[in-house]
Each structure stands twice: as C-alpha cells, then as structure tokens.
Structure 1
Amino acid sequence: MVLEVRNHDMQINGVTDYKQYSTPWNTSKTSCGGTMQQEGCVITAFTNILNYKGKALKPDSVLGTLKPKGQDCPFAWASADATYGISSVRKDGVFNTIRQDLFNAVVKQRKAVLVHTQPHSFVVYGFKG
C-alpha cells in the first residue's frame, strides 16, 4: 500500500528528492529528443541515488555529464556508475521474484532503491506502516 506520494521536490532524510518535471531542467533535451519532463525519470532517479550516496548533484548536471557521452538515453547503467564512482546492484525480474530483496534493502537495510518499471523509474526511500 502506498501511503504517501510526493509530487514536488522535497527533503527526505536530508536528501533532496528531485522530480523530472521541476525547473530548470524540465525543458532540457535528452539524447532521445524528448525533454527531461517527458523522459527524464531515469536520470532524475539516478541523481537522487547519487545524492543519497553523498554527492551534491542536480538532474541537469547529471544530464550535462552523461549526454555528451551518449549515456543518458538510452540510459547506460554501468557507464553512469563508473562516471560517478558508485556501484549498483541490479535485480531483474517480476515483482514476485524480487519483492523480498526490495523489502530487505528498503526496510531492513534502510537503503534508497531505484525501481525501474517500464516506462517509469523512481526511488524508494523507506516504508511507513
């Protein structure tokens, strides 16, 4: 059950939770030709993870770094990790096969988790309930 959905940039555990439709980056174009507002959820969610890991960045700066390398769209996960010096653990599968891992990461280990579901991406920071 989702108890709260926040539709604006805000602080969660001291980390800004950016949205793809926020200014000034919402009109910036990705390599695929659309705007960040239209197709920038992966870049924005990745930026939120970077900030959670202590890097003070905004989505427009991440786009500006990845786009010239062609890593923004389609999003190049391994290259983006290497560019920012982080290590991601990837779990693929349907919800029923990964839900225990997701629960453990978010609730037990208190990690921020980037969830990518076609066609959207978002970050889970915690659980209330």
Structure 2
Amino acid sequence: MPFSDRMKEFFETGAQVSKEFVAKAGAKAQDLGEKGYKASKDILQKAGTKAQDLGETTILKLEIKQLEGQAQKLIGRLGTEVYSALVEHESPGITPDTPAIKVILAEIASVKEGIEKREQELQGRKG
C-alpha cells in the first residue's frame, strides 16, 4: 500500500475516532447538564419549602404575641371592672357570674384558646 493511501486511511480512521469522541462527549455533557439542572431545581424547591415554613412559623409566633397582648389588655380591663364594682359602686359581692366580669372572662378564655391552638401548631411544625 502506498504511503499516500496509508496516510489517507490513517486520517479517515482518526476523523472517525474524533467524531465518535465528540458524539460521546456531547452526550455526556448533555447528561451532566440535565443532572445539574435537576439538582438545581430540587435545591430551589427545598429552599422555597424551607422559606415558606419559616414564614409560617414566624406568622404563628407573631399571632401568639398579639394574642398575649390582647390577654394582658383584657386582664387590665377585668381589674378595672373589679375595682369599679368594689370601690366606686360598693358592690357587696363580685363573682365570675357578675355580668360585666362574665363577658371579660369569656373574652380571656377565647384568647387563651387561640394562643394554645397556635402554640400546638408551632409544636407540630417543630416535630
């Protein structure tokens, strides 16, 4: 076989090997790209879920603080009402069934239930 034919065969074989190599490299790069995209997507979804969970936890904590503030105001109103009845109106007896007291106690109980409900939700998120 003449030298020129051998060189031609050599270059054709080299070109074929190069084409195969490039095709394999392209397929591998595409596979890696798809895996990277999927991993990035999973990470972003997990981060989004975590951010949403933190936001909801923060909202629950804020609601608890607001309800605690309401409870403090109601207890202050209760004290004012008791003082008024005892000192200003010289009421002989005040009980939980006294109309003004009963209303305030019911409001306090309602706020207390709201606090307990949100605290349970908060514990459920931590568990």
What TM-score comes out, normalization by structure 1 length?
0.19
Larger Rg: 2
Q: Looking at secondary structure, tell me which structure has more helix per residue.
A: 2
- Relative contact order higher in (CA < 8 Å, ≥ 6 apart): 2
